[in-house]
């Protein structure tokens, strides 16, 4: 990006980031966050920033990641009770906030709660925060056991395919699914590898 475009991006982004800081970290007020239909809306105040760009890994799950921020938040439920929670905070700067991208972002936060649970033992980490800079929107992610099991099953499938590929020196067959493939970040390299198998979807 050019210096001019970088400057314009920063001019647009900085006020939103300052507003987020004032809303969540200044202590002047707690901000209402939607944690989904099972948990509902809760007010959240970030009371402590434990770490940023934290490298976390869970060898027994075969997972690792870099968490944008690890925070302690004071959560106030609708019933009036409050409690402190350790949770991951993930920032997203892209414009895509719905559909497949939103599912991937939620899955990322859920996996980060698993990584943090391994790092901070004896700490119940089952919530996370997801902030979209483009829309200045903060979402609450509540971990469901069924979602976590589903993600681990997908992780195991991927690990199995990678192991097979290392022995066969070839990649799995292309999905050839427009809904899945069109938004995939590996589409270009995948189609080149699989040669002309995408042609019937590109017309």
What residues does each domain of the chain span? 3-152, 173-203
Q: Dump strand ranges (E) for the chain.
A: 31-34, 41-58, 63-76, 82-92, 127-132, 137-142
Q: Give pTM, 2 decimals.
A: 0.79
The reported pLDDT for the residue numbered 1 is 61
What spatial distance separates the first Cα and last Cα of the chain, rounded to whole Å? 31
**CB under 8 Å to 45, separation ≥6 — which residues?**
24, 25, 27, 29, 30, 31, 73, 74
From the CB of residue 71, how many other CB atoms can be counted at a distance below 10 Å? 23
Per-residue pLDDT 10s for the chain (203 aa) are: 688 888 888 898 899 989 898 888 866 566 889 998 888 888 899 999 999 999 998 888 888 999 999 999 999 876 667 889 999 999 998 776 777 788 889 999 999 999 999 988 888 999 999 999 988 899 999 999 999 999 999 989 888 888 888 887 777 777 888 877 877 878 888 888 777 544 544 44
The whole-angstrom distance between residue 97's C-alpha and the CA centroid of its chain comes to: 11
Task: Tell how strand 127-132 and strand 137-142 pair up.
Answer: antiparallel
């Amino acid at each position: 990006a050019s210096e001019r475009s970088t400057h314009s991006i920063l001019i647009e982004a900085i006020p939103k980031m300052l507003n987020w800081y004032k809303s969540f970290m200044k202590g002047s007020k707690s901000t209402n966050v939607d944690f989904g239909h099972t948990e509902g809306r809760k007010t959240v105040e970030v009371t402590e920033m434990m770490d940023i760009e934290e490298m976390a890994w869970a060898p027994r799950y075969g997972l690792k990641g870099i968490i944008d921020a690890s925070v302690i938040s004071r959560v106030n439920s609708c019933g009036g009770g409050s409690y402190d929670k350790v949770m991951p905070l993930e920032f997203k700067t892209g414009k895509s906030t719905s559909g497949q991208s939103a599912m991937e972002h939620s899955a990322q936060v859920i996996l980060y709660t698993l990584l943090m649970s391994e790092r901070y033992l004896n700490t119940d980490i089952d919530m996370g925060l997801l902030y979209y800079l483009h829309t200045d929107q903060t979402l609450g992610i509540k971990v469901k056991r069924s979602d976590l099991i589903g993600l681990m099953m997908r992780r195991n499938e991927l690990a199995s395919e990678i192991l097979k590929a290392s022995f066969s020196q070839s990649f799995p067959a292309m999905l050839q699914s427009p809904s899945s493939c069109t938004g995939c970040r590996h589409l270009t390299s995948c189609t080149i590898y699989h040669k002309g198998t995408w042609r019937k979807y590109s017309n």
